[in-house]
Amino acid sequence: MMRLFFDAAFAFVTLGAIEAVIKPIAKRFVQGRILRYAPAVFDIIDPLMSSMMKQHNGQEIDDIVRGHFEKMTGESWADVNLAPFWAMYDPRKAADKHQS
């Protein structure tokens, strides 16, 4: 019984450490990679976005962008959350920059 309590407590502490330490480090690492390659991906997709929106759905455009990241890094981006990239690629923000 004591062993079960010890194992449960250890598992709880381990899960807490993963949530508090490992996940933020992994998230920062992924965001750093996105930030490093985002300008080059922007340069590629900016002139194509209008036609891509007419020819592809959202998932297909996401896949195209992943493909560009994969070409640049030589690594799979299949499991990478691209939300930080899409947050940077906000046409409203781009329009505001051009108006200033």
Is the model more confident about 30 or about 89?
Answer: 89
pLDDT given for residue 26 in this prediction: 60
Task: With beta carbons less than 8 A apart as the criterion, state whether 30 and 73 touch.
Answer: no
Residue 84 lies in a domain: yes
94 in a structural domain: yes
Tally of domains in the chain: 1
CA distance 99 to 52: 25
Supply the mean pLDDT for the chain: 79
pLDDT at residue 22 in the model = 61
Structure tokens at 20: 């508090």
17 or 48: which carries more pLDDT confidence?
Answer: 48
Mind listing the pLDDT tens digit for each residue in 66-82?
Answer: 999 999 999 999 988 88
Read off the tokens for 23: 């996940």
Whether 13 is in a domain gets the answer no
Considering the entire predicted model, what is its pTM?
0.62
For the record, the structure tokens of 72 come out as: 């640049």
Domain assignment present for 8: no
> Is residue 78 a part of any domain in this protein?
yes
Q: Is residue 85 part of a domain?
A: yes
For 60, the domain range is: 31-99
Cβ(64)–Cβ(48) below 8 Å: no
